């Protein structure tokens, strides 16, 4: 039996996350429109910056719990990198679907809203009620991938 498009694109996000350089959690994201991949991203340090694998995890060193103080991290989130890659290459992502291996945090949710993403398919749960509330308020269709 052929996999659904959601399954197919979520598998792609799972492959993308293998490029992550984060020591705590690997996340992958794929931006899709009309069954075509427009952009992808994984979490990790910005281009030209030492990866946490080499410098150590700042969040671990400071004892920062998951879901808090996002600014205390060298890395960008997968969703952020997917949006940045689209912008860098001049690809419009308004009206797209984002497939991501972890529910977005509130910072990423705000970026997805302003980028014009219309549908979000996510796999893992993330402890951020405000993110879910804002995405719902913005009218972004959210689906937990099972």
Residue 105 marked as a ligand binder:
yes
Q: What is the CA radius of gyration of the chain?
A: 15
Nearest CA to 122 among 19, 54, 29?
29
Residue 77 marked as a ligand binder:
yes
Q: What is the per-residue DSSP string for 45-70?
A: PPTTS--HHHH--HHHHHTPPTTS-T
Q: Residue 134 burial by CB count (10 A; 0-12/13-18/19+): exposed, middle or buried?
A: middle
Catalytic residue among 60, 71, 79, 132, which?
79
What's 36's DSSP letter? E
Q: Are 142 and 117 in contact (CB under 8 A)?
A: no
Q: Judge whether 79 counts as a catalytic residue.
A: yes
> How many CB atoms are located within 10 Å of the residue 24 CB?
15
Binding-site positions for Zn(2+) = 77, 105, 108
Residues forming the annotated binding site? 77, 105, 108
Residues designated as active site:
79
């Amino acid at each position: 039996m052929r996999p659904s498009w959601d399954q197919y694109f979520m598998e792609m996000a799972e492959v993308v996350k293998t490029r992550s350089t984060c020591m705590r959690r690997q996340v992958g994201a794929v931006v899709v429109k009309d069954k075509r991949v427009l952009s992808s991203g994984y979490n990790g340090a910005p281009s030209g910056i030492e990866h946490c694998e080499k410098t150590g995890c700042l969040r671990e060193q400071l004892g920062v719990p998951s879901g808090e103080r996002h600014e205390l991290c060298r890395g960008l989130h997968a969703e952020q990198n997917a949006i940045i890659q689209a912008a860098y290459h001049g690809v419009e992502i308004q009206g797209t679907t984002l497939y991501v291996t972890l529910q977005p945090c509130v910072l990423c949710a705000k970026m997805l809203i302003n980028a014009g993403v219309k549908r979000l398919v996510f796999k893992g749960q993330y402890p951020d009620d405000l993110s879910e509330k804002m995405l719902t308020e913005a009218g972004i269709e959210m689906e937990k991938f099972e």
